[in-house]
Structure formats: structure tokens, C-alpha cells
Structure 1
Amino acid sequence: MIKTLALFSSVDGQTRTICQRIGEHIKSDHDVTLIDIHRVTSVDLADYEKVILGGSVRYGKHQPDFEYFLIEQSTSLSTKKTLLFSVNATARKANKCSPSNNPYFIKLKHKTGVHADIEAVFAGKLNNSFFDRLMIKLIFKMSGEQIGDSEIEFTDWDQVDRIADAFQQL
């Protein structure tokens, strides 16, 4: 079994769900440890051969703890087989759904200097508190779009499975 760390930063839970899905998908030959970056003080990457890193975007930024981890561990991560992905609502758009054209993913890589063997961007899910929903409605309105009050899931689970397959083959 290949010891694999799945480290995530999730605000509303969708990034965690995606990490869990990838972990389930590869569990036939990977021993996956799922860790919420907000609940640990340190992680010893020496214990793992492969690392999955998932971060969500909230109001245009990845979580500071996630960025800090990537910066602090960039040297260690460069010695591992890695999957780095970002979850954001912008990725629902065809012209913003890949690592090469998603502004949040591009900014994350530039800021942290991390390069992964496999990189991905997944559209997220809108299931927010009242205040957050108002803010997101405003953001959508400014981009000429409208959303309702119900939960909206944009995640392409077939895409998640394809990325998991590619990571499993590393």
C-alpha cells in the first residue's frame, strides 16, 4: 500500500468531500490519511510517498493556513508525488476551469511556488450561511449572473474521478 496524505482546507465542506472521494477512489492500493489543515499544528511529510493537497477559495482567496503550509513545505513537497487542486465557484465557467486559466489557481501557484505532478481545478458548491449567500449573490450579480437561494452544486464528479485515476497511476 502506498502511504498517501490527503490534506485539505475547506470552509463549507466541499473540498473535504472531494478529498474523501479521491481517497475512496484510490484506496485499493493507497493507504490514505485525511487531514484537515485547520485541525493540526504539524504534519511530517516524511511518512508519506504521495500527497494530495486541496484548498478552497473564499472571497477570492485560498485560506491562509493552506497557503502557509504550501510555502513552508514546498521543499519537502517537491520530493513527493503530488496532486494540487483548488475548489472555487469560478471554475464552473468553461474559460476558468483548468489550472492554466483559473485566476485563483494561477495566483496560488505564483504565491507559494509549489508545482505538483497533477494539478486540477474543481467547481465547488454553494451552500452558505445567510450573510455569505448575500455576498455571493452580489458577486454573481456583478458578473452578470443570477443565483437562487437553494444549494447549488457545480462539482463535476466525473472530472474528480478522472483526476483520481491519474493520481493513482503516478
Structure 2
Amino acid sequence: MQKVLMVYSTVDGQTKAICKRLQTHLEAQADVDLVSLEQVAQLELEAYQQIVVGASIRYGKFRPELFTFIEQNKAQLNNKKSSFFSVNVVARKPNKNTPQTNPYMKLFLQQSSWKPDSLAVFAGKIDYQKYTWFDRTMIRFIMWMTKGPTDVSGCYEFTDWNKVEQFAQTLMLNR
């Protein structure tokens, strides 16, 4: 059975939730290891035939550790079947929810030396009640500026789970 490594970088857990959904679909045909970006350094990437990386955006940026991981493993990532997906709330907008139209994906592709075989963009989640006062205030302000939800008593999940499942199908085909 083929081995797939799924690496996630998440701030509030939505990227991990998306990875778990992908893992559920892939496990029928592959042995899938799901690990956080912080844990991946302990693994031997040579053991995997496919690598999937998912990363979230916070305040307009990916975590710096994502790019460190890519630079340290560039040869492995570029020589195996590999996929990358971004999770961000900007992707809630129809004109910004594809790899070609999402500003964070476009920026990632400019900044990264890795050229994944497949790409995806998923809208994230806003859960005001989980945030610190600072994050709640900042995210509310960003949502106000971008015409998103600003009621801090709410939780707003924008992830299109059908789109996640479609991406899982492409991952199975890319193996």
C-alpha cells in the first residue's frame, strides 16, 4: 500500500480538520500519516510516495516554518507526487477561491521554490469565541473591511466540504 504524508500548519484547527477529512478519503487506498508542521522534522520523507501540505493564513501570512520546511525538503517535495492547499477566509468569496484567483496562493507560488503537482484553496472558519481579545478585535476589523461577519458571538464556517472531497479524489488520482 502506498504511503502518503499529510502535513498541516494551522492556527485555530480548521486546516487540521480539512486534513482529517482528506485522510478519511485516502485511507481506503493508502496508508496516510497526518502530522503537524512542528512534528514533521522527526520523519523520514523518503518513506512516502506522496506528500500533501495544508497551511492556513493568519493576518495575511503563512507561518514562516512552512517556508523553512519547504527549503529543507525541496528535493523530496519536487521529486515526489506532492500537493499544497491553502486555507484562508478570503476564499469565502467566489472570485478568490481557486489557486488561480486566490491572492495568498499566488503569493505562495511566487515565494516558494516548491512546485506542487496539484493545488487547492479552501475557505476557512471564523470562531470569534475561541480568539483572544486581540485576535477577535483584529479579525472583526478585517471582516468589517471586507464585508464579512462581524458579530463576535458567532462562529462562521466557510469551508466547502464538497470541494474538499473533490480535492481528495484528485489526490487519489495523482498517486
Q: Confirm or deny a common fold (TM above 0.5).
A: yes
Q: How far 1:64 sits from its partner (Å)?
A: 0.9
> Is 1:139 aligned to 2:127, yes or no?
no
Structure 1 residue runs of 4+, over 3 Å off?
39-43
> Is 1:167 aligned to 2:167, yes or no?
no
Q: How far 1:32 sits from its partner (Å)?
A: 0.3
- The separation in 2 between residues aligned to 1:111 and 1:42, in whole angstroms, is 25
Where does 1:83-98 land on structure 2 (aligned, <5 Å)?
Answer: 83-98=83-98
Q: 2:104 aligns to what?
A: 104
Comparing 21-30 and 124-133, the one that deviates more: 124-133
- The separation in 2 between residues aligned to 1:146 and 1:163, in whole angstroms, is 27
Per-residue CA distance 1:18-70 (angstroms, 9 max, x = gap):
11110101111110001101234343210100011000000000011112112
Per-residue CA distance 1:141-170 (angstroms, 9 max, x = gap):
222444212111000000000000011011
State the AA in 2 paired with 1:30: A
Q: Give structure 2 stretches of 5+ with no counterpart.
A: none
Say what the alpha-carbon RMSD is for the aligned residues: 1.3
State the AA in 1 paired with 2:172: Q
State the AA in 2 paired with 1:98: T
State the AA in 2 paired with 1:46: E
State the AA in 1 paired with 2:119: E
Comparing 77-86 and 155-164, the one that deviates more: 77-86
Where does 1:26-105 land on structure 2 (aligned, <5 Å)?
Answer: 26-105=26-105
State the AA in 2 paired with 1:56: S
Identity value in percent = 38
- The separation in 2 between residues aligned to 1:17 and 1:84, in whole angstroms, is 15
Aligned residue pair count = 170
TM-score normalized with structure 2 length: 0.92
Q: 2:19 aligns to what?
A: 19
